[in-house]
Chains A and B, each alone.
Chain A
Amino acid sequence: MSTTTLDTSAQPIDRFVSAFQVNHGQALNGTNASVAKRREAAIQRFQELGVPTRKQEAWKYTDIASVLDRPYTLPLGPNEADVSARDLDPYLIDDLDAHVLVLVNGRPDHSLSQLDALPEEVTVTSLKDAGTHPAFKAHYGEYADAEDEVLTALNTAFVQDGAFIHVPEGTELEQPILLLHVNAAQDDLLMQPRHLFVVEADAKARVIGRQLSLTDARTFTNTVTEMFVGERGYLDHYVIQEEDDNASQVLSRFGYHEGDSVLSTDTFTFSGEVVRNNMTLTPDGPNCETNLYGLVIGHGSMHVDNNTLVDHVHADCVSNELYKHVLNDQSTVVFNGKVFVHRDSQRIDAYQSNDSLVLNNDAQIYTKPELEIYADDVVCSHGATAGQLDEEGLFYLRSRGLSQERARILMMKAFAQDVIDVIEVEPLKALIEDRVQDRLRTFAS
């Protein structure tokens, strides 16, 4: 595998810039033209913006610099990771009939994938091979903000591969697409996958991303995902974050959708060292429905930072945002939810709430709802709660014969239930129920 080890004697910025220069023209040019042409400007922006520090409001509670400042290797060539279908078997979702694309260290591995049942007109492939696809050319780089978001700039400069999904006009994909993201390297890797999902007008798709580690090596994954949904289209994007404690990531999602369409995201975070989810959703047409749901089950010293923006640039839309956090041990959760309603965006209904169940005094929650509303005819609400398990409720359950442990599990589970109930894919819902139960059981005993 062609790799570049970052020179840790240099400042982090210089390290990436020199890695870029060394590989430019070679490893970094092989991808495709749409990708390649954006690299130069992006590395330039990265250099200008610099690595975020905690002095910046958006990174106040998440020290990403120290996660970046580690001796990672940049994989700039095909995988040599040794992953077999059997390794992945436990992570295919029971009873889920899905089109599966496996990505090992950020790159699709077609030999491990199962895409035979995909309707002919639908494309699920690697980004590397998508360069000539008209939808790729039309949408790649159009929504991700490589201008102001430094990690998006870094990703745009180094992007090698990722998933490309295209659902053409009028096609309703019945089975979901499962993207299995697997970390499986011997070395400490810094990966920068890039995904693009294009769901055209009147088309429908559900995409499930599941992130796992099959390695003890330290990893940092800086992902950028762009999503486009055309008029009257529908995209449901689920992400299940269950990398190991040696894995950190910044996942930046940029979703853009047109009139009468629905774009929903549902993010479940079960593990990881430092997990930062940036989400920017832009409903740009009338009667859009934008949904953001999230559940964090924090344990150990996990640090999860959800930073969301719903950018209401168009009138007559509805957005719903609901995040739930269950925090145990010394885990930390940051929630920063911004809703921006532009001056001409009248008749917007925007709801946001985030609720935290704090089970341990050492756990920490920082939440900051930010509403910026410049239109006058809007209905916006936001709320944040933080509390402990209700003693009265626990006693009620115990007085009917449930053990302390079972009562605690039921109450914790109930707290998380409404973000689980929005899952429309039954086998996925069953999986999430199980994963939540398993984790909560360890909290209750």
Chain B
Amino acid sequence: MALLEVENLHVSVEDEDIEILKGVDLTINEGEVHAIMGPNGSGKSTLAAVLAGREEYVVTDGSIRYKGEDLLELEAEERAEEGVFLAFQYPVELPGVSMTNFLREAVNSVREARGEEELGAADFLKLVRERAKLVDLDPDLVKRSVNQGFSGGEKKRNEIFQLAMLEPTLAVLDETDSGLDIDALRTVSDGVNKLRSAERAFLLITHYQRLLDYIEPDHVHVMVNGRIAESGDKDLAIRLEEEGYERFQREPAAA
């Protein structure tokens, strides 16, 4: 059984008549790394948001099965408990929400769902230090409000740090590479690579092929205009980098 099976997924925005995803098919097995590339506005973030349970998107047709169950039946927090994690393209700043308190609550709610025991304050802090090191995140940032006053790069690291803390089964990274300089990109990629395991699958959404130089994907998909236009191995990413997306964008008109 595949970890994630997206079939003929059609998604619209609540209150609006625009269809954003127009029949997406995608299968991810345990431990695999998939990359989705595609031009701006093609629906990549929408797919990520729908996987994470964002309610403003309405699934009008198709299905998503996760670990064999209907993922769409679950609330966002239940998905997190089941091991779905989304690293946001634009992490939200939450002034006044303490990073430590929030993260401890998040970690413990996910642990409880997995039948693990709650982490006490000391163990939690130990884990924070250990996992912060993984992405070279200043552990003092954890003492602040969530993402408040973080630089663009710090926000992205903070997402991967939280991923490391929550130990998901399916991690969706939405353009984690954008806004990172080359050193930060290498650090974050190293962190992700260390988090790769036989049980953990990744869906990397990216604009640029360069991320895939560091995190080698098993499969690469091209999303254009709300559909997966082509799938292949990592060579597809290299070809896209050279040729651009025009080839795909012309197709619907010709069809």
> Chain A: residues with CB nearer than 8 A to chain B?
390-393, 395-404, 406-407, 410-411, 413-418
CB pair A414 B94 closer than 8 Å = yes
Cβ-defined partner of B162 (8 Å) among A400, A404, A416: A400
Closest to B92 in A: A396
- Closest chain B CB from A394 CB (angstroms): 9
CB pair A414 B96 closer than 8 Å = yes
Closest to B51 in A: A399
CB pair A395 B96 closer than 8 Å = no
CB pair B92 A392 closer than 8 Å = yes
Among the stretches B105-113, B208-216, B236-244, the one at the interface with A is B105-113
Contact flag A401-B94 (CB < 8 Å), given A410-B102, A414-B145: no
Does B61 touch A at the CB level, under 8 Å?
A: no
- Closest chain B CB from A295 CB (angstroms): 13
Closest to A392 in B: B92
The answer for the CA separation of A395 and B79 in the assembled complex, in Å, is 12
Number of B interface residues, CB 8 Å?
Answer: 33
Closest to A417 in B: B96
Contact flag A399-B80 (CB < 8 Å), given A404-B75, A406-B105, A414-B145: yes
Which residues does chain B contribute within 8 Å of A406, judged by CB atoms? 105
Contact flag A399-B96 (CB < 8 Å), given A391-B56, A410-B102, A414-B145: no
Contact flag A399-B76 (CB < 8 Å), given A391-B56, A406-B105, A414-B145: yes
Interface residues of B in 106-132 (CB under 8 A from A): 106-107, 109-110, 113
Which residues does chain A contribute within 8 Å of B146, judged by CB atoms? 396
Residue among A396, A415, A416 with max Cβ neighbours from chain B (10 Å): A396
- Closest chain A CB from B59 CB (angstroms): 16
CB pair A400 B166 closer than 8 Å = yes
The answer for the CA separation of A406 and B52 in the assembled complex, in Å, is 18
The answer for the CA separation of A398 and B81 in the assembled complex, in Å, is 10
Which residues does chain A contribute within 8 Å of B232, judged by CB atoms? none
Interface residues of B in 133-151 (CB under 8 A from A): 145-146
Which residues does chain B contribute within 8 Å of A400, judged by CB atoms? 80, 85, 102-103, 106, 162, 166
Does B194 touch A at the CB level, under 8 Å?
A: no
Known pairs A397-B94, A400-B103, A401-B105; list 14 more (Cβ under 8 Å): A390-B92, A392-B92, A395-B55, A395-B76, A399-B79, A399-B86, A401-B80, A402-B106, A403-B109, A414-B94, A414-B95, A414-B97, A415-B96, A417-B96
Closest to B108 in A: A401
> Chain B: residues with CB nearer than 8 A to chain A?
52-56, 75-77, 79-81, 85-86, 88, 91-92, 94-97, 101-103, 105-107, 109-110, 113, 145-146, 162, 166
The answer for the CA separation of A397 and B53 in the assembled complex, in Å, is 12
Residue among A393, A398, A417, A418 with max Cβ neighbours from chain B (10 Å): A398
The answer for the CA separation of A314 and B191 in the assembled complex, in Å, is 59
6 contacts between A and B (CB under 8 A): A392-B92, A395-B76, A396-B91, A413-B96, A414-B95, A417-B96
CB pair B94 A396 closer than 8 Å = yes
- Closest chain A CB from B15 CB (angstroms): 13
Q: Which 9 A-B pairs have the closest CB atoms?
A: A414-B96, A417-B96, A401-B80, A400-B106, A398-B76, A401-B109, A396-B92, A414-B97, A401-B106
Which residues does chain A contribute within 8 Å of B79, judged by CB atoms? 399
- Closest chain B CB from A399 CB (angstroms): 5
The answer for the CA separation of A403 and B53 in the assembled complex, in Å, is 13
Closest to A421 in B: B96
CB pair B102 A402 closer than 8 Å = yes
Which residues does chain A contribute within 8 Å of B113, judged by CB atoms? 401
- Closest chain A CB from B198 CB (angstroms): 23
- Closest chain B CB from A421 CB (angstroms): 9
The answer for the CA separation of A413 and B96 in the assembled complex, in Å, is 8
CB pair A393 B105 closer than 8 Å = no
Which residues does chain A contribute within 8 Å of B95, judged by CB atoms? 414
The answer for the CA separation of A411 and B102 in the assembled complex, in Å, is 11
Which residues does chain B contribute within 8 Å of A411, judged by CB atoms? 94, 97
Closest to A416 in B: B96
CB pair A401 B96 closer than 8 Å = no
Closest to B93 in A: A393
Contact flag A398-B77 (CB < 8 Å), given A414-B97, A414-B145: yes
The answer for the CA separation of A81 and B54 in the assembled complex, in Å, is 57
The answer for the CA separation of A413 and B53 in the assembled complex, in Å, is 24
Closest to B76 in A: A398
The answer for the CA separation of A413 and B145 in the assembled complex, in Å, is 12
The answer for the CA separation of A395 and B101 in the assembled complex, in Å, is 17
CB pair A418 B80 closer than 8 Å = no
Residue among A391, A399, A402, A407 with max Cβ neighbours from chain B (10 Å): A399
Closest to B145 in A: A414
The answer for the CA separation of A397 and B97 in the assembled complex, in Å, is 10
- Closest chain A CB from B208 CB (angstroms): 25
Which residues does chain B contribute within 8 Å of A393, judged by CB atoms? 92, 94, 97
The answer for the CA separation of A407 and B113 in the assembled complex, in Å, is 17
The answer for the CA separation of A398 and B49 in the assembled complex, in Å, is 12
CB pair B97 A399 closer than 8 Å = no
Which residues does chain B contribute within 8 Å of A399, judged by CB atoms? 52-53, 76-77, 79-80, 85-86
CB pair B91 A398 closer than 8 Å = no
The answer for the CA separation of A56 and B54 in the assembled complex, in Å, is 48
CB pair B54 A401 closer than 8 Å = no
